[in-house]
Amino acid sequence: MTEPHGTHEPRFASVHDALRRNLASGAELGASLVVDIDGEVVLDLWGGFRDEARTTPWDRDTITNVWSTTKTVVSLAALMLVDRGELDVHAPVARYWPEFAANGKEHVEVRHLLSHTSGVSGLEQPAALEGLYDWDKTTARLAAQAPWWAPGTASGYHATNFGHLAGEVIRRVSGKTVKQFVAEEIAGPLDADFRIGAAEADWPRIAPIVPPPPAQFDPEPGSVMARTLSGPAVDAAIANTAAWRHADIGAVNGHGNARSVARMLSALALGGTVGGVRLLGPDTIDLVFAEQANGTDLGLGIPLRWGIGYALSRPDAVPWVPDGKVCFWGGWGGSVILTDLDRRLTISYVMNKMAPGIIGSDRSTTYVDAIYRALR
C-alpha cells in the first residue's frame, strides 16, 4: 500500500514520488495531497493506511482531524459575512458581542481576533480541554477576561480558542453556530467533504490521529506562551474520542481531507468563486493581505506575519512558503493549506501521523517544494 492512488499531471511526477517514498519509509502512515490551479485539480493523491496496525487502507473518501487547518475555514466564514456587509473587521468586537467589552477589551476589533492580536490567546486557569465542549461557558469566560498584552501590538497565536472567539461573532451576526455556518454556507454549497467535528455516520471512515513525539517546549512560567499552551493544554490522542468529534471547536476539530480543504480555500486563489458558487469578492480577499502583525509571535515564540485570518509569506521565517501574494496556515502535526493568488494556485495536504514541530513538517515542506519546482 505504498503506491499512492489518484491522478496527477505528468509534470508533478516528483510530487507523486515524494509521497510514495514517505509512505514506503513509514514517515507517512496515511495522507492526501491536492493541487488546484485555476479551478482545475491537477493533482489528487492519497495513500497509506488509516490505522497504526496498517490493516485499513486510506482511501479516496478517508477523512481525519485536521487540527488548526480548521481555523482557515472559520476565517473564510467570517470573511463571507464581511463580504455581505454584515460584519466590519475594523469595528469593535463589542458591537456584535457586547459582553466582550469587559475588562478593557472595548476597543478590541474584529480584525484583532482574526489576526491573533486580540490579547486573548487562551483561557485563564483553571482551563481543562473538556471545558471547550461547553460553548456558552467558554465564550462567557473569554468575554470576561482581560487581555494578556496590549491588543493590536503583537500576535499571540489563539491556539485553542480561535474558533470560540471568531465563532461567537459569526453566531451573533448570522444566528448560526460556526459548525452550522460552515456546513450550510461553505461545505454544503461546494460539496466539500468537511465539517467541524464529525457526524457519527462518518466515524467509520475517519483515520485516527497518531500523536507526535513529545513537544520540546519550555516556556517561561507566566509568559504569554506558557499561558496560551496551558489554556488549555491539548493531548493529541483526544482527537480520537467521541466527545471531541461531537464538539464545536472551530480552532482545532475540523474533519476533512486535502480535497475538501482545497475545494473551500481555493476561493481565495480564484477571486472568491468556486465552481460557480460565490463566497467572496476581490475587495474582501484583499483584506486578507492587510498586514496586522509581523514579528515574534508571543504564543508560539517564532517569527510570523499575519494578515486578516491567515498567515502571510515571510520567507526568512517560513522558507517553504514563497514570497508574493500568498497566504497559508496548517494544523498541528503538519497539515497545510496554501493559496497563491499570483499563480491562482491552492495546495492542500492532510495526514494522520503527526510530525514534530509547529508549522508544517519535513514532509509538507518536501511536497510544497516539489510542487513549486514542477511549476517552474
pLDDT in tens, 212-266: 988 777 889 999 999 999 999 999 999 999 999 999 999 999 999 999 999 999 9
* Cα distance between residue 130 and residue 136, in whole Å: 13
Question: CB-based contacts of 283: which residues, under 8 Å, 6+ apart?
Answer: none
pLDDT tens digit string along 70-82? 999 999 999 999 9
**What mean pLDDT do residues 341-347 have?**
98
Query: Which three cell numbers, joined as nine digits, stand for 145?
Result: 477576561
Is the pLDDT confidence value at 357 over 90?
no
Q: Where are the domains of the chain?
A: 5-375
Percent of the chain with pLDDT over 90: 96
Dist. CA 367–CA 161, nearest whole Å: 30
| DSSP assignments along 151-215, one per residue | TTSS----TTTHHHHHHHHHHHHHSS-HHHHIIIIIIHHHT---EES--GGGGGGB---BPPSPP
Distance of CA 150 to the CA centre of its chain: 25
Give residue-wise pLDDT tens across range 265-297. Answer: 999 999 999 999 999 999 999 999 999 999 999
What is the tens place of the pLDDT at every residue in 126-168? 999 999 999 999 999 999 999 999 999 999 999 999 999 999 9
d(CA 212, CA 357): 9
Provide the pLDDT for residue 43: 98
Mean per-residue pLDDT of the chain? 97
Q: Who contacts 26 (Cβ-Cβ below 8 Å, separation ≥6)?
A: none
What pLDDT sits at residue 1? 61
What is the tens place of the pLDDT at every residue in 113-122?
Answer: 999 999 999 9
Instruction: Give domain 5-375's CATH superfamily.
Output: DD-peptidase/beta-lactamase superfamily (3.40.710.10)
Where residue 301 falls (left for φ over 0; alpha for ψ -120 to 50; beta otherwise) is left
The whole model's pTM is what?
0.98
